[in-house]
Amino acid sequence: MDALEGRSPFGGLRPGIAGLLESGIVELVNYGRERDGLIPLWVGEGDLPTAPFIRAAANRGLEAGHTFYTYQRGIPALRAAVAGYLTRHYGVPVDMERILITGGGMQAIMLTLQALIDPGDELVLATPVWPNIMQSAEVIGGRLCPVAMTLDPERGWTLDLDRMFDAVGPRCKALFVNSPGNPTGAVLSRDAMLAIRDFARQRGLWIISDEVYGRLFYAGRPHQPAPSFLEIMEPEERLVVVNSFSKNWAMTGWRVGWATAPASLGQIYENLIQYNLSGVAEFMQEAALTAVTDGEADVSALIDRCRAGRDLVCDRLSTMPRVRFAKPDGAFYLFFEVDGEADSRDLAKRLVDTANVGLAPGTAFGPGGQRALRLCFACSEARLDEAMDRLQPVLT
Ligand SMILES: Cc1ncc(COP(=O)(O)O)c(C=O)c1O
């Protein structure tokens, strides 16, 4: 019997599906989720529920009976509001015809890969990276070409662009870029983006730019977004930008996101949405509309909270001599290494057992991450302080 089929009582599964890896983050969550009093900093979400005015908008939609199938590309009011939001924040006109509402950023990624990657086509991406990106390429039979970043104490997690370009072979269809990055928090400079754009143009490649953490940027003017490919590419170029309501508006459980794609691909995405999901629920889109229209003060508060969380965690960990890290410029994660600990999966389990703190093991994030741990700092200072008190004896 095929070794992979041994993982299922049934034969006949597609090998690529039978061979999918369990998310290394979820594995740790399953290991520790029942522990009493555990401080969970392992998943990519904060500790605040969605704001009441957004929840109320969903309730209003439900009460009004908005429970039917709806527009596959998203309700027009939401698509227009998202286009306006992008135009405001990035200073370039974005037409609503480019906006496709999806089941979270996750589905925007999957639909985009479905549209672009044939079995055997290659996707070049920098790692460590969110495991779902690698596994969604596997689902559709794409071949991953990971390029490992390295942790430089001065410059942070850095990507060698020449190595990325060298990884592009004849079957490469797209470069996947995630800035600010999960798990590293690394932010690509505008110059790096220009170099990637020029290379992609020259080679006829697509750029899939995952910008779900684009507002969580700490290096510019207060509340200035991180550099975006939207700012440097034309509407009808080979660019898809992935975004989400999950992070900025604390809506992880809602599963609403969007892709910004060339308008000429509208019907392609409409078909893919129809055949994967058949549209995001209307009352949830109404809540997302309220979030993007009236939620800017909340986004600003979230950015400030995350910056404070980052500073607290970095200050506390810098007193622990075995811990090595560079302060991240974006996202809401610290991805740090611990001297003397080569296997982060073991270490993460040990931290659950001895410190009652849940961190994600770097082994989950592909080449370059094996020795590191990911900590989500989108939490109250009290919770982070308590977590640091618990981690100190183990990591010192
Ligand atoms: C890099 C990255 N992209 C996309 C997503 C998708 O988020 P969601 O599907 O909740 O919108 C996440 C979530 O953690 C992420 O970290």
pLDDT in tens, 198-241: 999 999 999 999 999 999 999 989 999 999 999 999 999 999 99
Residue 40 pLDDT exceeds 60: yes
Under 8 Å between Cβ of 369 and 128: yes
Check if 178 has its Cβ closer than 6 Å to any atom of ligand 1.
yes
Q: For residue 15, what pLDDT is reported?
A: 85
Question: Omega of the bond prior to 93 within 30 degrees of 0, cis?
Answer: no
Q: Return the higher-pLDDT residue of 314 and 20.
A: 314
Which residues are CB-contacts of 105 (< 8 A; sequence separation ≥ 6)? 210, 212, 242, 243, 244, 246, 257
pLDDT band at 21; cut points 50, 70, 90: confident
Check if 246 has its Cβ closer than 6 Å to any atom of ligand 1.
yes
Residues of the chain with pLDDT > 90: what percent? 91
Residue 2 pLDDT exceeds 50: no
How far apart CA 26 and CA 131 sit, in angstroms, is 10
Please state which of the ranges 10-14, 189-193, 266-270, 343-347 shows the lowest mean pLDDT.
10-14
At how many degrees (to 10) do helices 381-395 and 344-355 cross? 110
* Single pTM value for the model: 0.96
pLDDT band at 104; cut points 50, 70, 90: very high
Residue to probe by mutation, ligand 1, list 50, 125, 244, 335, most atoms within 8 Å of CB: 244
Q: Which helix (H) or strand (E) holds 291?
A: helix 282-294
Residue to probe by mutation, ligand 1, list 45, 157, 182, 245, most atoms within 8 Å of CB: 182
Nearest residue by C-alpha to atom 14 in ligand 1:
44
Tell me 217's DSSP state.
B
Among residues 195, 127, 200, 180, the alpha carbon closest in space to that of 330 is found at: 180
**Residue 311: phi, psi to the nearest 5?**
-65, -40
Q: For residue 153, what pLDDT is reported?
A: 78
Nearest-atom number in ligand 1 for the CA of 210 is 3
Residue to probe by mutation, ligand 1, list 106, 178, 248, most atoms within 8 Å of CB: 106
Q: For residue 7, what pLDDT is reported?
A: 64
Residue 396 pLDDT exceeds 90: no
pLDDT band at 14; cut points 50, 70, 90: confident
Under 8 Å between Cβ of 44 and 29: no
By CB neighbour count within 10 A (0-12 exposed, 13-18 middle, 19+ buried), where does 204 fall? exposed
- Strand segments, DSSP code E, in the chain are 39-40, 99-102, 122-127, 143-148, 150-152, 156-158, 172-178, 206-210, 239-244, 257-260, 323-324, 333-338, 357-358, 360-361, 372-376
Q: For residue 360, what pLDDT is reported?
A: 96
Check if 23 has its Cβ closer than 6 Å to any atom of ligand 1.
no
Under 8 Å between Cβ of 125 and 133: yes
> Residues 116-169: pLDDT tens digits?
999 999 999 999 999 999 999 999 999 999 999 998 878 899 999 999 999 999
Sign of CA dihedral 217, 160, 112, 8: negative
Check if 130 has its Cβ closer than 6 Å to any atom of ligand 1.
yes
> Residues 287-306: pLDDT tens digits?
999 999 999 999 999 999 99
Check if 209 has its Cβ closer than 6 Å to any atom of ligand 1.
no
> Residues 320-338: pLDDT tens digits?
999 999 999 999 999 999 9
Domains in the chain (CATH in brackets) are 16-50+297-395 (3.90.1150.10), 52-294 (3.40.640.10)
Check if 330 has its Cβ closer than 6 Å to any atom of ligand 1.
no
Across the chain, what does the average pLDDT equal? 95
Tell me 259's DSSP state.
E
Q: For residue 255, what pLDDT is reported?
A: 98
β-sheet bridge partners, residue 143: 122
Residues of the chain with pLDDT > 70: what percent? 98
- Mean per-residue pLDDT for 373-387? 97
β-sheet bridge partners, residue 88: none
Q: For residue 1, what pLDDT is reported?
A: 41
- For ligand 1, the distance from its centroid to the CA atom of residue 204, given in whole angstroms, is 27
Nearest-atom number in ligand 1 for the CA of 103 is 9
Under 8 Å between Cβ of 195 and 161: yes
Which residues are CB-contacts of 40 (< 8 A; sequence separation ≥ 6)? 29, 33, 358
β-sheet bridge partners, residue 157: 151
Residue by residue, DSSP assigns 124-136 as EEEES--HHHHHH
Check if 179 has its Cβ closer than 6 Å to any atom of ligand 1.
no
Under 8 Å between Cβ of 120 and 282: no
Check if 244 has its Cβ closer than 6 Å to any atom of ligand 1.
yes
Q: Which amino acid is at 159?
A: L
Tell me 394's DSSP state.
H
Chain centre to alpha carbon of residue 172:
22
**Residue 147: phi, psi to the nearest 5?**
-120, 115
> Residues 164-205: pLDDT tens digits?
999 999 999 999 999 999 999 999 999 999 999 999 999 999
Residue 6 pLDDT exceeds 80: no
How far apart CA 261 and CA 243 sit, in angstroms, is 11
